């Protein structure tokens, strides 16, 4: 069997746009030659703030046949450490049943035969490098699940890649933007409206850590970005960082560092 790819993902920021997310993911997979993926929910507790991710509600968005739960891969200490409630950064990651990683790998093998991928998910924005309200960094338990999957694959002799959706390394491309957009990015704007006519699949599969040169006439700047977001009924690119044109080399270094710090690079068996 050829290499299997399993994607991981966090729904943070998609609470009001879950249907658009599914459309974008399906468009990317269709462009890549795959059928719509199956989403596997690895949360132990699903009392999410966004209603669409509360309980099994997300299954109504993607359809029951494309939504599965695997509580056994949840983090026992997601909400607390014993009886004491702790901030994210101090909560231990304790997978309820680590052997369940074999079941998730089995599911990925089975779905590969149907030309489908698995996307397992929880709430955290990134596998690593998340920031709580106190400014502390913390890791998400899906990175631990990733390590368990790699361990299982190696033991079984399966070639496996686990990577944050939508995968890929950082790319670089250009995008025309208004002068006001460039000015607003310099003032701290966090989303850049998508102005060109590239297909949704192209924007939605933009790898985390990609570099985009925004330009308007003689003015330009570079932004560090990732997959398109749907905000206020429009698609936009997130601005993770930015620099003036003379700092391009430095931005390439920032891209690699950002991807490493946030755990979005692929790990392979």
pLDDT digits (tens, 9 = 90+) for 54-106: 999 999 999 999 999 999 999 987 655 444 455 555 568 899 999 999 999 99
Let me know the angle formed at the C-alpha of 175 by 174 and 179, rounded to the nearest 5 degrees. 125
44 lies in some domain: yes
Give tens-digit pLDDT for 30-48. Answer: 999 999 999 999 998 888 7
Q: What is the DSSP letter of 76?
A: T
203 lies in some domain: yes
Which three-class secondary structure state does DSSP give residue 143? helix
269 lies in some domain: no
Instruction: Give yes or no for a contact between 222 and 211, defined as CB atoms under 8 angstroms apart.
Output: yes
Q: Are residues 54 and 121 in the same domain?
A: yes
Give pLDDT, residue 82: 44
Cis ω on the peptide bond leading into residue 210 (within 30° of 0)? Answer: no
Distance CA 210, CA 240 (A): 10
Give tens-digit pLDDT for 99-134. Answer: 999 999 999 999 999 999 999 999 999 999 888 777
Give pLDDT, residue 1: 65
For 192, the domain range is: 172-260
> How crowded is residue 234: how many other Cβ atoms within 10 Å of its Cβ?
11
Instruction: Give yes or no for a contact between 146 and 175, defined as CB atoms under 8 angstroms apart.
Output: no
- Entry pTM: 0.91
Distance CA 84, CA 195 (A): 48
pLDDT confidence bin for 240, thresholds 50/70/90: very high
Instruction: Give yes or no for a contact between 41 and 80, defined as CB atoms under 8 angstroms apart.
Output: no
Query: Which residues, in sequence order, are bridge partners of residue 220?
Result: 215
Work out how many domains the chain is built from and give that number. 2
**241 pLDDT higher than 90:** yes
Give pLDDT, residue 81: 46
Q: Are residues 25 and 98 in the same domain?
A: yes
User: What does the pLDDT average to over 174-189?
Assistant: 94
Give pLDDT, residue 232: 84
């Amino acid at each position: 069997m050829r290499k299997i790819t399993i994607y991981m993902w966090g729904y943070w920021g998609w609470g009001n746009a879950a249907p658009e997310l599914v459309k974008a993911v399906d468009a990317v997979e269709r462009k890549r030659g795959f059928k719509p993926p199956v989403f596997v929910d690895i949360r132990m507790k699903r009392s999410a703030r966004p209603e669409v991710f509360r309980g099994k509600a997300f299954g109504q968005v993607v359809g029951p046949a494309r939504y599965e739960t695997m509580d056994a891969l949840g983090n026992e200490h997601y909400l607390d450490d014993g009886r004491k409630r702790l901030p994210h950064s101090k909560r231990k990651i304790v997978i309820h049943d680590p052997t369940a990683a074999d079941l998730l790998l089995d599911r990925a093998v089975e779905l590969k035969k149907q030309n489908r991928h698995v996307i397992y998910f929880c709430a955290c924005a990134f596998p690593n490098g998340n920031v709580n309200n106190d400014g502390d960094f913390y890791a998400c338990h899906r990175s631990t699940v990733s390590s368990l999957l790699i361990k299982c694959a190696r033991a079984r002799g399966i070639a496996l890649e686990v990577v944050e959706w939508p995968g890929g390394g950082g790319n670089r491309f250009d995008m025309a933007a208004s002068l006001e957009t460039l000015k607003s990015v310099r003032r701290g704007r966090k989303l850049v409206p998508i102005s060109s006519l590239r297909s949704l699949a192209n924007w939605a599969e933009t790898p985390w850590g990609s570099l985009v040169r925004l330009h308007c006439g003689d003015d330009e700047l570079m932004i560090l970005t990732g997959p398109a977001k749907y905000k206020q009924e429009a698609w936009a690119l997130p601005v993770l960082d930015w620099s003036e044109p003379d700092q391009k080399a430095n931005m390439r270094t920032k891209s690699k560092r950002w991807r490493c710090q946030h755990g979005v690079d692929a790990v392979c068996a």
